[in-house]
């Protein structure tokens, strides 16, 4: 077995500029590990969390647009920091902004506010309903 490693070692020694090749391979491995660590560290914030936030925004927009007089509805949610989607803990919505064309009507605005409060279990101080175009 040791002769096998000796043969491999001799062949590697005979390659010109092996140090450069090894250094480049080592650099590629380190760069890959670094980029993987960055992506895993931000996996919640950039992919999973954003995906969850997008799903909540989409579903909430669909529901709110069904309110009579709401018109075109756009929703943006902010997730609570420190929540992790990967450990089966659903991120908590911290605040929401709703832009609705029909929000100029106080009754519609109140219904949108009440719907967000009920669906997201948020206090009204964390919900902002604005008039859209």
79 and 122 housed in the same domain: yes
The per-residue DSSP string of 48-75 comes to IHHHHHHHHHHHHHHHHTTSTT--SEEE
Whether 31 and 92 share a structural domain? no
Residue span of the structural domain in which 112 resides: 44-131
Is residue 53 domain-shared with residue 19, that is, in the same domain? no
Instruction: Say if residue 119's pLDDT is above 80.
Output: yes
Whole-number pLDDT of residue 38: 64
* pLDDT given at position 36: 75
In the predicted model, is pLDDT for residue 86 greater than 70? no
Please tell me whether residues 119 and 94 are part of one structural domain. Answer: yes
Residue 82 has pLDDT above 90, yes or no: no
pLDDT tier at 88, thresholds 50, 70, 90: confident
Q: What is the CATH number of the domain that holds 65?
A: 3.30.300.30
Number of domains comprising the chain: 2
Mean pLDDT of 10-21: 75
Please tell me whether residues 18 and 49 are part of one structural domain: no
Given a cut of 70, is residue 84 above it in pLDDT?
no
pLDDT of residue 89: 67
Shared domain for 77 and 19, answered yes or no, is no
Per-residue pLDDT at 3 exceeds 70: yes
Q: Do residues 19 and 51 both lie within one domain?
A: no
Q: How far apart are CA 95 and CA 72, in angstroms?
A: 20
Tell whether 14 and 54 lie within a shared domain: no
Q: Are 126 and 72 members of one domain?
A: yes
Same domain, 37 and 56: no
Q: Are 94 and 78 part of one and the same domain?
A: yes
Interatomic CA distance for residues 98 and 111, integer angstroms: 12
What percent of the chain clears pLDDT 70, i.e. is strictly above it?
A: 83
């Amino acid at each position: 077995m040791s002769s096998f490693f000796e043969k491999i070692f001799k062949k590697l020694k005979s390659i010109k500029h092996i140090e450069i090749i090894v250094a480049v391979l080592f650099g590629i491995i380190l760069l890959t590990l670094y980029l993987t660590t960055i992506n895993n560290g931000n996996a919640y914030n950039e992919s999973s969390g954003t995906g969850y936030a997008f799903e909540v925004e989409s579903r909430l927009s669909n529901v709110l647009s069904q309110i009579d007089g709401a018109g075109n509805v756009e929703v943006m949610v902010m997730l609570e920091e420190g929540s992790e989607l990967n450990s089966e803990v659903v991120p908590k919505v911290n605040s929401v902004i709703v832009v609705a064309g029909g929000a100029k009507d106080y009754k519609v605005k109140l219904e949108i506010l009440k719907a967000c409060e009920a669906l997201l279990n948020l206090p009204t101080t964390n919900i902002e309903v604005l008039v859209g175009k």
